[in-house]
Copies of this chain bind each other. A is one copy, B any other.
Amino acid sequence: MGEADPVATNMRLKLPITCFILEIILIILFGTLVQYDHETDAKQWHNQSHEDYENDFYFRYPSFQDVHVMIFIGFGFLMTFLQRYGFSSVGFNFLIAAFALQWATLMQGFFHGLHGGKIHIGVESMINADFCTGSVLISFGAVLGKTSPVQLLVMAMFEVTLFAVNEFILLSILGTRDAGGSMTIHTFGAYFGLMVTRVLYRPNLDKSKHRNCSVYHSDLFAMIGTIYLWMFWPSFNSAITAHGDDQHRTAMNTYYSLAACTLSTYGMSALTAHDGKLDMVHIQNAALAGGVAVGTAGEMMLTPFGSMIVGFLAGVISVLGFKYLSPILEDKLKIQDTCGVHNLHGMPGVLGAIVGAVTAALASTDVYGGGLSDVFPDVASGDVTATKQGGIQAASLAVTLGIALLGGLIVGFILKLPIFGAPPDTICFEDSIYWEVSCEIIILYILYFFQSDLQVKC
């Protein structure tokens, strides 16, 4: 991709056509396939005998709202760290999430929610749709600043589909446990996105490198995203676990994992960064790795002790990844990972899968009592042994990595088609290519002028 071509990146027709066609297809499919489930349908709910407080809404809606905040505020603002890409970070996050959650409802429903040919939906499907959306947003982080909104919508369409396939293989065929999605969400989203950004490799991206860094206020906006993700991760991991002790325990395990992760992140950041100073990139990202890493094992009897060890390790691995591995990935493997999703979602996701496999292999009625059937129904029913369940968990990681990498490869090549209006190398990480930007930008250009004279490095 060479010089800026205002015609190629013009969204006047491309974006409306994409949005309208996608939404009209969604509406038609919803009209033909989707129905209220028995807890949202007036007739069905009143046909049965229950108390209102038994409606799943009261068990899950507060968690759903926390997850919703993570998807739209958490991911959206986390990516505003770039100095000139805040509109796109929040705005494209908003757009592709709004599309993905509708499409995910259909894809997930198609694979594991069909009742007599109809997809039944309620608060649990809403959470699952948000989860699937989260995976797409992780991939968005890898390609941030280098893609048009049309590319992102196309990527979301394919990624949601592949996510649902992978999720179906794991949860429905293999019987894998992954309530917080260390594998299905984080590992899948990260490696899919990394492969897409590998295929979209831009050798001349350094022409935009002066915009590929943060400024003071953009880092503060990004901290809004970080802190919301951190606070609500207990709700994320516990949102679709079984009622009762399971939701309670999962939230608590995640809480302690994140707290331990934060301390190891700060320690590692000061240890590895320049002059013993803390690096905002580490704090914004690595402190969250503890939530990713207990995504699978969080619902299990991991204990706070175990959660803290996992969180501690996740923080260490994540900071080391930012410091040492990301430069190698970019230089040697040509993977330009804008947000470092490999360090926040990739490696901690793999760690989470392994921790989940080990914890599952150690499960026993001694420890879980009657609760075994909530966490490991196949083990409780005697269909598999705990060791076998552990093996299934490990195999699921391999399946996830395979589908993510292969899917990312194919989708990456699709996104390379020169019809989606991708930005040229010289105007990456820049809002004004897709957004009307207000008058004060002129001031910023004056400041850039000063800056280029005075600044030593960025």
A231:B31 contact, CB within 8 angstroms: no
**For chain A residues 215-245, which have a beta carbon within 8 Å of chain B?**
215-217, 219-221, 223-224, 227-228, 230-232, 234-235, 243-245
A245:B55 contact, CB within 8 angstroms: yes
A255 to B90, CA, bound (A): 19
Instruction: Determine how close the nearest CB of chain B comes to the CB of A395; give it in whole angstroms.
Output: 25
A41 to B246, CA, bound (A): 8
A27:B231 contact, CB within 8 angstroms: no
**For chain A residues 354-401, which have a beta carbon within 8 Å of chain B?**
366-372, 374-375
Query: Could you say which residues of chain B place their CB within 8 Å of the CB of A368?
Result: 42-43
Query: Could you say which residues of chain B place their CB within 8 Å of the CB of A270?
Result: 11-12, 14-16, 19
Of the candidates B101, B278, B283, the one whose C-beta lies within 8 Å of that of A11 is B278
Of the candidates B20, B227, B435, the one whose C-beta lies within 8 Å of that of A267 is B20
A95:B440 contact, CB within 8 angstroms: no
- What string of 1s and 0s marks CB contacts (under 8 Å) between A292-309 and chain B? 000000000101110011
Say whether A46 faces chain B, with CB atoms less than 8 Å apart.
yes
A55 to B280, CA, bound (A): 39
Query: Could you say which residues of chain B place their CB within 8 Å of the CB of A221?
Result: 220
Say whether A327 faces chain B, with CB atoms less than 8 Å apart.
no
Contacts known (A56-B248, A439-B451); A228 close to B375, Cβ less than 8 A: no
A59:B58 contact, CB within 8 angstroms: yes
Query: Could you say which residues of chain B place their CB within 8 Å of the CB of A271?
Result: 12-13, 15-16
Say whether A454 faces chain B, with CB atoms less than 8 Å apart.
yes
B46:A230 contact, CB within 8 angstroms: no
Of the candidates B53, B95, B287, the one whose C-beta lies within 8 Å of that of A266 is B95
- What string of 1s and 0s marks CB contacts (under 8 Å) between A47-59 and chain B? 1000011111111
Instruction: Determine how close the nearest CB of chain B comes to the CB of A93; give it in whole angstroms.
Output: 9
Say whether A121 faces chain B, with CB atoms less than 8 Å apart.
yes
Instruction: Determine how close the nearest CB of chain B comes to the CB of A147; give it in whole angstroms.
Output: 15
Of the candidates B40, B234, B262, B372, the one whose C-beta lies within 8 Å of that of A94 is B262
Output the nearest chain B residue to A54 by Cβ-Cβ distance: B53
B442:A454 contact, CB within 8 angstroms: yes
A63-71, A195-203, A332-340, A403-411 - the one binding chain B: A63-71
**For chain A residues 269-323, which have a beta carbon within 8 Å of chain B?**
270-271, 273-280, 283, 287, 301, 303-305, 308-309, 312
Query: Could you say which residues of chain B place their CB within 8 Å of the CB of A77?
Result: 224
Contacts known (A102-B260, A251-B123, A271-B12); A59 close to B52, Cβ less than 8 A: yes
A79-87, A167-175, A181-189, A343-351 - the one binding chain B: A79-87
A42:B277 contact, CB within 8 angstroms: no
B12:A91 contact, CB within 8 angstroms: no
A47:B87 contact, CB within 8 angstroms: no
Say whether A252 faces chain B, with CB atoms less than 8 Å apart.
yes
A437:B245 contact, CB within 8 angstroms: no
B305:A245 contact, CB within 8 angstroms: no
A438:B27 contact, CB within 8 angstroms: no
A441 to B241, CA, bound (A): 46
In the complex, besides A11-B277, A94-B287, 4 extra interface pairs with C-beta distance below 8 angstroms are A30-B308, A55-B245, A65-B232, A439-B451
Can you report 15 residue pairs joining A to B where beta carbons are below 8 Å apart? A20-B267, A34-B303, A42-B368, A43-B370, A46-B374, A47-B370, A55-B248, A57-B248, A72-B227, A73-B231, A91-B278, A101-B259, A219-B438, A278-B436, A446-B454
